[in-house]
Amino acid sequence: MGTEVLGAVAVRRVKPGHRTQERVFYCVMTLLMVGTILLGFRRFYFPLGVKPAALSSGVIVAHGIVFSVFLLLFGVQVALISARRVKLHMTLGLTVYGLAVLMIPLGVVSAADEIRRDLIMPSAFPVADPYTFSLVSVMGMVMFGMLLGLSYVWRRRPEMHKRLALYAVLSMMDAGIDRWPWAAWGLSPGWSHWAYTGLLLLPVAYDLLSQRRVMAVTLVATPFVWVLERMEIPLGGTRGWQWVAHWMLKHLT
């Protein structure tokens, strides 16, 4: 594929078979990510079931709306590239990046609000205390911001750009997977880690099948997201982060 996922600048010729593979892969990945969020938040945000008290927070409502719009626009961008609407893709890409700039501080404020709410009413996912767990959301914003920012820097390198943009969105998918109905399926919540790992490895499998090698950007982005995701709770329990979390609760709520 000669253009990128969020904003195209340079176009190069590729074999039709490879272009078709790319279209299928990115469309499937987009559908998987949308499905991941819908399944995970079907009872906790989207009106597919009982609305919990969490929706009484305006910050969470705003966070959910902005994130949902971003994910929708990401899908539109993938569809535009598949339809070869490169110029429209480039124009809309500016809006997508602008929305991402809003998502990052909103995500941090949402993490602070989550501490406040969890102190009042314990979370349905007591993985850690509210202060420690807050790093999960903040780290997600850090990964998202870094990867999406790099995708903009490398927008003239389509193969790098689109993979970085994909991993930027993948870096936030653990929030949905953690909320899948594991208990209803008779599985331990620990399966969420393996499901998330599998999702992160799909671009690796695609590279091997389509390129006969793993692209350098994939080789870096995959462990980057995986390792930081695994470090969230351990780092959240450190004295340094506990101080930051208490500051967030005091000044951002």
**Per-residue model confidence as pLDDT tens digits over 94-139:** 999 999 999 999 999 999 999 998 888 766 556 789 999 999 999 9
- Asked if residue 156 is part of any domain, the answer here is yes
- Asked if residue 1 is part of any domain, the answer here is no
User: Are residues 46 and 61 in contact, defined by beta-carbon separation less than 8 angstroms?
Assistant: no
How far apart, in whole angstroms, are the C-alpha atoms of residue 200 and residue 179? Answer: 17
How far apart, in whole angstroms, are the C-alpha atoms of residue 10 and residue 134? Answer: 40
How far apart, in whole angstroms, are the C-alpha atoms of residue 253 and residue 240? Answer: 20
User: Are residues 191 and 179 in contact, defined by beta-carbon separation less than 8 angstroms?
Assistant: no
Domain count, the chain: 1
User: Are residues 160 and 167 in contact, defined by beta-carbon separation less than 8 angstroms?
Assistant: no
pLDDT at 44 over 70: no
Terminal-to-terminal C-alpha distance of the chain: 45
How far apart, in whole angstroms, are the C-alpha atoms of residue 125 and residue 51? Answer: 17
pTM, full prediction? 0.87
Work out the mean pLDDT of the chain and round it to a whole number: 87
- Asked if residue 4 is part of any domain, the answer here is no
- Asked if residue 7 is part of any domain, the answer here is no
The pLDDT, as a whole number, for residue 8 is 40
How far apart, in whole angstroms, are the C-alpha atoms of residue 187 and residue 174? Answer: 17
CB contact set of 167 (below 8 Å; sequence gap of 6+): 147, 200, 203, 221, 222, 224, 225
| Residue 52: domain span | 16-251
Residue with the bigger pLDDT between 203 and 85: it is: 203
- Asked if residue 69 is part of any domain, the answer here is yes
The pLDDT, as a whole number, for residue 9 is 41
- Asked if residue 10 is part of any domain, the answer here is no
How far apart, in whole angstroms, are the C-alpha atoms of residue 136 and residue 175? Answer: 9
Amino acid making up residue 133: F
- Asked if residue 2 is part of any domain, the answer here is no
